[in-house]
Amino acid sequence: MIYISAIGMLNALGRSAEEIAANLTRGVAPGMKTRTGWLQGTQEVVLGGVEGKLPPIPQSFAEHRSRNNQLLLAALEQIQPAVDAAIARYGRDRVAVVLGTSTSGLDEGDLHVQRSLNGEESLEWRYPQQELGDPSRFLSRWLALEGPAFTVSTACSSSARAIINGYRLIDAGLADVAIVGGADTLSRMPVNGFNSLESFSPTLCQPFGRDRCGITIGEAAGLMVLTREPQPLALLGTGESSDAWHISAPHPQGEGAVRAINMALAQAQLTPDDVGYINLHGTATPLNDQIESMVVNTLFGDRVPCSSTKHLTGHTLGAAGITEAALSALILSHDLPLPAQDFSRGPLDATLPPCGLLLTPQPLARPVILSNSFAFGGNNASILLGRVS
């Protein structure tokens, strides 16, 4: 079995496990704000941001200077003792780094282009800042590690697949410890890109709501330390699949999502009735919520409590998988009440198949949580986490 020994995260809910746990319980996200300057032709949109200063990146790491990597450093600070202990015990060549992202340092590249077009100097920009491989390259170099290090970019399942890849590296004996997770930063490209696809909500998103019209984008970072050493929390099972159906739409019967969930259950040797909560992908786009509710209804009926937490973090894109897996781990480790779906701004879509959506917070009855990430291109990933002691 592969265990989780430490978790660091920051997002619109807060900058530490304690702050995030408190705000998740209250259903309040300080970083979900109306912001300007992101969407062309519109003055104000709601976006989820990380508030406050981030750790600086020194001149010796100038080619890695990006807000994305600063978010990773802030998450790393929370788990540094566990990382240091792993390096001391196993050696730098036995610690892997696997991260997910979809933006990396794209915002810095955008700013560079803007300045250049305006005839301004852009002396701080370096091309490696925006390469998709940079997060893992940076973190591995920062920690002076010599083990496997790579980045996964499969849109909104990126960091979920990073967790799965870390699991497999340990299981295959290629590493003793894996630092897994990811980060994505607010950037004009995804904001305007999703808006052009008519999948973006300028106001706060409404997962599974009757009036839902698209996603609210957020930024976040999260890191987990995976190990064979027994811990109270474990990665019980993982599943992944590819729809091979459409570049952006899910399979109309949700076949790939069903396969990913069933794979995770089979690996964990669990049944649907063993699951105590499902953290839904729940993006608040009409099609995603329709297909996911159908998939959950098919596999679990209306028996397992579930909700999407994206109205509290925003859709953090490449960081969504780690963000929601980390929130699930927080519920398990801190014995938090399950977060209810927010229908305060509009009613539930009554046409959706019933799938156990929580209308009020309630205790976790069984210490197993399923976290789903279903991305563009039919990149599906499901992760089962649980308490083992």
List, by residue number, the catalytic residues. 156, 281, 315
Q: For residue 385, what are the β-bridge partners?
A: 235, 369
Residue 152, φ and ψ in degrees, nearest 5: -105, 135
Nearest CA-CA partner of 378 in 291, 300, 280, 298: 291
**DSSP state letter for 119:** T
Closest CA to 39 of 283, 282, 217: 217
Question: Distance (Å, rounded) from C-alpha 113 to C-alpha 96?
Answer: 34
Contacts of 388 (CB under 8 A, 6+ apart): 1, 3, 230, 231, 232, 233, 234
Return the structure tokens found at 211.
């009036």
Which residues fall within 8 angstroms of residue 89, CB to CB, at 6 or more apart? 176
The Cα-based distances of 168 to 17, 100, 145, 226, 267 in angstroms read 26, 15, 19, 11, 12
The separation between CA 355 and the C-alpha centre of its own chain, rounded to angstroms, equals: 22
Cβ distance 248 to 197 under 8 Å?
Answer: yes
Instruction: State the sign of the Cα–Cα–Cα–Cα dihedral 134, 165, 189, 343.
Output: negative
Number of Cβ within a 10 Å radius of residue 247: 7
